[in-house]
Structures are given as C-alpha cells and as structure tokens.
Structure 1
Amino acid sequence: MIVAPAWLTELASKAGDHPVPAGLRPPPDGTGRRAAVLMLFGDGLEGPDILLIQRSSKGRVHAGQPAFPGGGVDPQDDGPIAAALREAEEETGLEPGGVEVVGMLPELYLGHSDNRVTPVLAWWHTPCAVHAASPDEVETVERIPIAELVDPANRLRLRVRGTALSVAFRVRGLLVWGFTAMVLDGVLGAAGFEVPWDRSRIEDLPAEIVELAARG
C-alpha cells in the first residue's frame, strides 16, 4: 500500500484550519475562472522536494514566472484534482499513475488573472522523468529540495510596485515570488519545515520581471 509521509497527510487534514490571507480571498460573488495547481512533493536525493515550472517568457499572463503546474478547470475535468493532474501531465510529462493525491487547500484568488485557484496536495510515490513538455507554455521544470527553500540564505522579501512587500525564494537560478511564493511560505510553515530567516532582507522586484508581469 502506497502511503504519503505523515507530515503531508497531517497538512492535508488541517488544510481548513488555516485562514486564507486577505489578498488571496476569493470574491464573495463567485466571479473568477476555476483553476487548479498541483503541489507535488516527492522524496529526492536531498530529502523532500517539490515540483515547480518556469512559465514561458513569451506568454501573456504570468510570463517567465516560476509556478506550480496547473491551469484552468475545463468542462471535461472532474473537478480541480483532475484538472491539476491533466495540466501537470501536459506541461511536464508527469505520469499521473505515479501520484497519490492527499487533499486540497482552500480556494485562493489570483486577481491578476481572475482565477479562483485550488491547490491540490499530492505525493510523488513513483517519480518519472519530467521536462518542459509544452514549450509554448513552459521553459523549464525543476524539482526543488525543501531544504533549499527554507535555507535562510535563499529567503527574502520583495518590494513590489514601490511599497507592497512579498515573500520570495531564490533557488536554482529561479526567483520564486508572488502567488507561488505566498502559497509555498504558508505550506512550509504549516508543515513545520520553516526555520527563522531575516525578514529585513528586502530587495526591489527586478525591472525585467516587472516588465514581464506587466503584460497581463
């Protein structure tokens, strides 16, 4: 019998206990496109890791940004779980049969693209080779060790649009910020992985990233 690690199943069981940050609360009127992302954890060479993609810099929305695999829930999808697995397969070549879904986090709202996003928590019990299977949408695919994400040397806050501060991670040549960083920050803390880091380390969002983000 395939069993996900206790920290992940416990995280899934308590998903509803953590309040949704004000900036990510879905509109009460139900507007927004339904979407889902796959938060796929696995057991890598350096301990637990998570699958991330870097979106194509040629895209219109969220161009060049590191993200979880995912996308819109299509009519033929049987809900967010099916959508997250389908999108991950299309974007990375992931084999869904090697994945055990353990739960879902509360729906979050991504105002920039008007998406109501359901993060799907899953365990990669039988890893397979992954790659940028949809080059028009994805530039790179990475398995990022949790140890690197929580390393204080890789953590910072970004000054966005002059004043707003956002948590961020600088790992494997990627600057993970925005929605993806906020969700990762919350999940890593809830799972007990987070270690103290210097929150006074603040940098401006690089100009080239600001330019890409402005496309949407």
Structure 2
Amino acid sequence: MSAVAGDPATELPGWWQPLLTRVGALRPETFGSPVSSARRSAVLILLADGPAGPDVVILQRASTLRHHPGQCAFPGGGAEPADGGPAGTALREAAEEVGVRPDTVQVVGTMPELYLNVSDFRVTPVLAWWRSPHGFAELDPGEVARVARLPLAGLADPTNRLRVRHPSGYVGAAFRLDGMLVWGFTGGVLSRLLDLGGWSRPWDTARVEPLPPGF
C-alpha cells in the first residue's frame, strides 16, 4: 500500500489498524499487470463511523447513462492532469458526483492498481477516512440515481451476500443491501476489503443468481 506522508494510523479509529496492516502486506503483482496504455482512474473507498459501525459510501449510477447504467460503484472516474495523482482524482470525483467535501476526508493510502478490460481503465482504489461526515449534495439525476452509506456489518451479513452470473458467463461477488445490488468491480473490491479488515463472515458461496435485466 502507498500511504500519505506521516503516520495516518495515529488519529484513526481502532478498526482501521487490521485493514492497514493487511493492505500494507499486499503484493501488487497478485492483482495482475495493468495495461500500460489504459487510461488511469481512481475510486474513493470512503469509510466512516456510522450508527451501525464502520460504513462505506456507495452510489448508484443513473439508468440513462451510456456506460454501466444503473450499476453501484464507489465515487470515482478518469484522471485529469491537474489532479496530482490518484488521491486527487478520487477526491475530485467524489466532490463532483455526490458533494463530499475534500477538507472532511483524510486520505490514508492506496491499494494496488487494477485493470478493467471492459472499460480499458487502470483503477487505483484510494482508502480514506471520512472524519467529518456531512450530508450529500443534491444529485444530478442524469449522473447519479442515489447514494448511501452502507454498513460494513450489513455487507458482511451472510444473508446479504451472493454471487451473480452475467450473460457473458462472468460470475463474481455481489451484495444486496438497502435496495442496492453491488456487483462487478465494486463487489469484488468490497469482498476483498471485508477480508482484509477482518469483517468477513462465512457465507454461502454456492448462492449464484443471474444478473437481473437492466444491468
């Protein structure tokens, strides 16, 4: 893991430490080799203390979008020259998409870069603590249908976990919580996050459902 300057763990809640320790031990080569010509992008894995314990910000893309309509995702998008790196990209996108103020967020570090062949993006997941949560901004209905803070305990609940099968044959981790179906890249990263943070619970990995129409 790449971390920000200083010791970000000193002011973080205790539940961060197992996650940071395990993320720091990850070997980038186990995540594959991103295609060098692919466009760089970043997503913000924004964790906060919520009423039910740690939670994560997830948005649902508008159903009218040309790419990935209706899918649930972390805030994020393609890098711009002025961003200054993955953290800058992730914070800018979170501000634009759901109104998260960068001054309320503490960037902790990054996970290894991943390659998405569907969109030809090199994606860096940026880990951050939302130290001063606030309400989300009014959403642009043409871009974002809704945004929610999903409790990690709810995501780890075995009754909310499944795998989905895409018509292409792809089968991957998914979560069904608070009216959201989180799958694909985001579902895979969330599954790894639960494992790394020690939040995972045994669940029925044989539960495979077809991806609903419209996804």
TM-score (norm 1): 0.89
Q: Would you say the 8 A contact 1:16–1:106 is kept in 2?
A: no
Instruction: Show CA shifts across 1:16-62 (max 9, x none).
Output: 5335697x63435x121100000000011111100010011111111
In the alignment, structure 1 residue 3 sits paired with structure 2 residue 3: no
CA deviations on 1:60-90 (whole Å, 9 max, x unpaired) are: 1111100000111101111110110010001
2:5 alignment counterpart: none
Q: Residue 80 of structure 2 aligns with which residue?
A: 74
* 1:156 pairs with 2:169: no
- Structure 2: gaps of 5 or more residues: 1-7
Q: Alignment partner for residue 25 of structure 2, among 6, 17, 23? A: 17
Contact 2:156 2:200 in 1 (8 A): yes
Q: 1:51 aligns with which of 37, 54, 57?
A: 57
Pair 111,16 (structure 1): closer, same or farther in 2 beyond 3 Å: farther
Runs (4+) off by over 6 Å: none
Cα distance in 1 for residues equivalent to 2:205 and 2:27? 21
Which range moves more in the overlay, 159-168 or 91-100? 159-168
SS of 2:80's equivalent? coil
- Residue in structure 1 matched with residue 198 of structure 2 by the alignment: 192
What does the per-residue CA deviation read over 1:112-132, in whole Å, with 9 as the maximum and x for residues that have no partner? 111100000001110010145
Q: Distance in 1 between matches of 2:119 and 2:152?
A: 28
For residues 166-186 of structure 1, the C-alpha deviation after alignment (integer angstroms, 9 at most, x for no partner) is 110001111100000000000
Partner of 1:128: 134
CA distance in 2, matches of 1:146, 1:27: 28
- Structure 2 contact 54–152 (Cα < 8 Å) conserved: yes
Distance across 2 between alignment mates of 1:32 and 1:173: 33
Aligned residues: 207
Q: Structure 1 residues 104, 90: closer, same or farther in 2, change over 3 A?
A: same
Structure 2 Cα separation of the partners of residues 31 and 109 of structure 1? 11
> Is 1:27 aligned with 2:34?
yes
Which moves more between the two structures, 61-70 or 160-169?
160-169
What is the aligned counterpart of 2:109 among 103, 108, 111?
103
User: What CA RMSD, in Å, does the superposition of the two structures yield over aligned residues?
Assistant: 2.0
Unaligned runs of 5+ in 1: 210-216
**Cα distance between partner residues in 1 of 2:120 and 2:189:** 17
Q: Is this contact kept in 1: 2:62–2:141, CA < 8 A?
A: yes
- Counterpart amino acid of 1:121? L
Asked if 1:204 is matched to 2:210, the reply is yes
> Match for 1:27: what amino acid?
P
